[in-house]
Amino acid sequence: MHYTARAHTNIALLKYWGKVDEALITPTTTSISLTLDEFYTDTTVWFDKSLQSDQLILDGETISGSAAQKVSRFLDVVREMADINDKAYVVSNNHVPTAAGLASSASAFAALAGAASKAAGLNLSVTELSRLARHGSGSATRSIFGGFAKWVPGDDRTSFATPIFEKVDWPIQLLTVVINDQPKKIGSRLGMQHAKNTAPFYDMWVRLANSQVNDMILAIQQHDIVKLGELAEANALQMHAMNTTSVPSFNYLTDKSWQVIMIAQELREQGIPAYATMDAGPNVKLISRPEDTFIIKKELANIVTSSQIIIASPGPGIKVTSGDKI
């Protein structure tokens, strides 16, 4: 039986940046995210007795190598849960600029968890799906849910995401400035591992990030974009500053990234709430209000072209259907 899932990516307002257990992908901090409507992955899975090995077709191309192995390892987890041995076809279409710091792994592994578990005959709750998605990629844990979600540390059983507010009925958007859409040089897995192992300020970052959780939830509950944005920008800048203290040092941000971060500051001086957040890449996402889009674009016009700006609103949780279309 074919099953197809659509999962949307998410942006972390408080970042996950380091694992307690590398194999189980359990995090050192609680992270909080907003799922986005614009970026998503559609994945169809079916198991086939006649297959010798799993087949991955990503955006129309048959994939081999480490990406295919990662998917096979994830399917092994599903096979073990469902007590089956059959290999699977995985046909995935990404509507996220892959590996450009826009967390395509979040929507990819959330969609794979949804489609593969159903195709294997499992009927998982959203909590179980979130836990399963975590085995593919940390950020995927949160992409099971729409709106704002929280993912907590714990062990294999207790580390999963829960929704804070799935329906977001107040004006908040994410304006992404695509500075570089090529795959990043240092992937998030290596980056966070290196920071945790070598950055002298890593423990401090963990304490700081965990201390921001309650205030972030309060800001979300109160629809307070200023408080939410201040916390998100501080958390992101703290993470990126901490990365530069790793030995040897590494850094995802470029001169262009900093120009956009400074524009957010200038906008705030004019009374426009715009706050920067950045993941494992140079792209800057501005947490902002839809009504300010025109003025923000105007301020950015000297640095980037309009085609480098993508606007996303809060998005929905995972959807799984039988067949090969959503």
Which of 4, 31, 235, 288 binds ligand PMV (CB under 6 A)? It is: 31
Q: Residues 44-83: x/- map of binding to ligand PMV (CB under 6 A)? A: ----------------------------------------
Q: Is 3 helix (H, G, I), strand (E, B) or coil?
A: strand
Say whether residue 196 binds ligand PMV (CB under 6 A): no
Q: Using CA atoms, how far apart are residues 6 and 92, in angstroms rounded to an integer?
A: 10
**C-beta of 47 vs 275, nearer to ligand PMV:** 275
Residue 188: CB minimum distance to ligand PMV, A? 4
Q: Using CA atoms, how far apart are residues 314 and 168, in angstroms rounded to an integer?
A: 7
In order of 106, 201, 220, 288, the CA distances from 217 in angstroms are: 21, 25, 5, 18
Question: Which residues contact residue 48 at a Cβ distance below 8 angstroms, ignoring those fewer than 6 apart?
Answer: 86, 87, 88, 89
From the list 18, 33, 9, 19, the residue with the least C-alpha distance to 238 is 18
Residues of the chain by 3-state class (helix, strand, coil), percent to 5: 40, 25, 35
Query: 164-193: which residues touch ligand PMV (CB under 6 A)?
Result: 188-189
Query: 84-113: which residues touch ligand PMV (CB under 6 A)?
Result: 103, 105
Q: Residues 116-145: x/- map of binding to ligand PMV (CB under 6 A)? A: ---------------------xxx------
Query: 8-27: which residues touch ligand PMV (CB under 6 A)?
Result: 12, 15-17
Give the count of beta carbons closer than 10 Å to the beta carbon of residue 76: 12
HSE value, Cβ hemisphere, 13 Å, CA-based, for 221: 7
**C-beta of 5 vs 239, nearer to ligand PMV:** 239
Residue 289: CB minimum distance to ligand PMV, A? 23
Residue 90: CB minimum distance to ligand PMV, A? 18
Residue 247: CB minimum distance to ligand PMV, A? 20
Q: Using CA atoms, how far apart are residues 13 and 150, in angstroms rounded to an integer?
A: 10
Residue 189: CB minimum distance to ligand PMV, A? 5
**Which tokens go with 4?**
């197809």
Q: Which parts of this chain interact with ligand PMV (CB under 6 A)?
A: 12, 15-17, 31, 103, 105, 137-139, 188-189, 279-280
